[in-house]
Amino acid sequence: MAGGPGERTTGHGRLARTAMWWQRARAYDGHERHTVLLILKSTVAATVGWLISYQLLHARSPAFAPFSAVLIMQVTVYQSLRQSLRYVGAVVSGVAVQAALVFTGGPQLATFALVALIALSVGRWPALGSQGNQVATAAFFAFATYTSATTDLDRAAQLGQIVLLVLIGCAVGLGVNVTLVPPMRYRSAAYALRALARTLDDLFADMHPVLRRGELDEETTQRWRIRAEQTEELIDQARAGLRTARESLYYNPRRLLGRHRGRTGFEGHRSVLAALERALHHVASLARSLDRWRGAEDRYRYRDFLRAYAEFLAALSTLTQLLSRLDEDLVAARARELDAAVERAHQCREALAEQAARDGLPLADPTRPYGVLVIEATRLVQEFSYLTGVLGPLPRVADEGPSR
């Protein structure tokens, strides 16, 4: 029986999402294309590993080679090398534990329990990292291989073959990752910075119209505070993206070719990320101050100041819009726009300070947000001035950012 309208709609939706996913994979160098490349490279590595282990060596357990090749296929060459060393260390440890105990105690149940106990304990060694579980896996496979062999010489040969196949698989996986489109993740660094700039832009775009109208209410200010305080996860993601991009340089032959020639680090990206992170903390501080402020009459009395602050945030919003759309290849072309946006933010901050002086704001009163607002405005201008200074050309070595 044919499915109902709801099922057909769901099916069409899945097909549409799948088509869009493949379209993105073809269109630009993003997550989708990286996923496709990783699958294809893993397939090549597994096939080569199986060819060597089964067709050439006629191994009894040929799956070890393709399994190892796929297991150490990571998003960067550096991670592939690091994980392959850990994986080989884990397998060798597991096989050694099994061999030492079984050759002396025989394939008894008590021996297996002791092998499991020691292998699982060794797997907790921090140096093995995420490959620690492979110690017990290798020990168990080695135990099964031992029980199926008939002579001690055959058993020793089979255990040695397991280690050999793992070495072959790791070599194949690493070789494929290095020679077949080795991953370069400059884009992940740029994407991380744009994501944080978009977050700031969304906050500024939400805040400045409300401040201009002077219609602050508890629900609105609480929403701003929560959104500003929930940016830690985005900051962590940005750091991870930058770390992946930096690691993609290590042992990567593509850094010597084409557009990647001469790029040696991400110091400029790190400086920009640090400035955006500090800016987010400043915005969170002013959002908290506004949320704790409940003086409606006070807001009416100093409405001109709030309007001036709205103009200041609108100027910052123009700047964050530019940053959220900025590609590292377009930094030089957009430098004039960035400089103009920073200059506009400076002018709005000066107008804000003049308005505060005219109104005689109680800046020292901790129950009112004016002191915090003025201070954070100054800090935000400093951060964005510094940010645009280190932004181009990226990446390059930059000075330390302004102290808080």
For the chain, what are the domain ranges? 17-179, 187-252+264-391
Q: What is the DSSP letter of 262?
A: T
Greater confidence, 361 or 295? Answer: 361
* Mean pLDDT, rounded, for 244-269: 53
Given a cut of 80, whether residue 109 has pLDDT beyond it is yes
What is the spatial distance between Cα 212 and Cα 317, in angstroms, rounded to a whole number? 14
Confidence band, pLDDT 50/70/90 cuts, at residue 394: very low
51/53 Cα distance (integer angstroms): 6
Cα-trace Rg, the chain: 29
At 187-212, the pLDDT tens digits run 555 666 777 788 888 888 888 888 88
The Cα–Cα gap between 183 and 163 comes to: 28
Residue 367 DSSP symbol: T
More confident residue, 274 or 29: 274
Map residue 139 onto helix, strand or coil: helix
- What's the DSSP call for residue 399? P
pLDDT value at position 130?
86
Other residues' Cβ atoms within 10 Å of the Cβ of residue 158: 18
Higher pLDDT, 4 or 337: 337
Spell out the alpha helix ranges (H) of 51-132.
64-71, 77-105, 109-122
What are residue 344's phi and psi, to 5 degrees?
-65, -40
Query: What pLDDT is attached to residue 358?
Result: 87
**Phi and psi at residue 158, to the nearest 5°:** -65, -40
Classify the C-alpha dihedral 93-94-100-101 as positive or negative.
Answer: positive
Q: In terms of pLDDT, which residue wins out, 365 or 240?
A: 365
Residue 331 has phi, psi (to 5 degrees) of -60, -50
- Determine the straight-line distance between the first and last CA of the chain, rounded to whole angstroms: 68
Q: How many CB atoms lie within 10 A of CB 310?
A: 21
Burial of residue 124 (CB within 10 Å: 0-12, 13-18, 19+) is: exposed
CATH for 187-252+264-391, options being 3.40.50.720, 3.30.1280.10, 1.20.58.220, 3.40.50.300:
1.20.58.220
With contact defined as beta carbons under 8 Å apart, do 280 and 215 qualify? no
Maximum distance among all alpha carbons in the chain? 96
- Tell me what the mean pLDDT of segment 365-389 comes to: 85
Token pair in block for residue 358: 């005219």
Q: What is the dihedral of CA 395, 398, 400, 404, to 10 degrees?
A: -60
Structure tokens at 92: 């060798």
Question: C-alpha distances in angstroms, 215 versus 52, 240, 360?
Answer: 72, 39, 22
Quick one: 258 exposed, middle or buried, by C-beta within 10 A (0-12, 13-18, 19+)?
exposed
Instruction: Give the whole-angstrom CA distance, residue 210 versus residue 222.
Output: 13
φ and ψ at residue 178, rounded to 5 degrees: -80, -40
Token pair belonging to 371: 């002191």
CA nearest to 380, candidates 391, 368, 372: 372
pTM confidence score: 0.54
pLDDT for residue 242: 67
> In terms of pLDDT, which residue wins out, 97 or 274?
97
Which band of pLDDT confidence, cut at 50, 70 and 90, is reported for residue 262?
Answer: very low
Of 187, 320, 332, 300, the closest CA to residue 248 belongs to 187
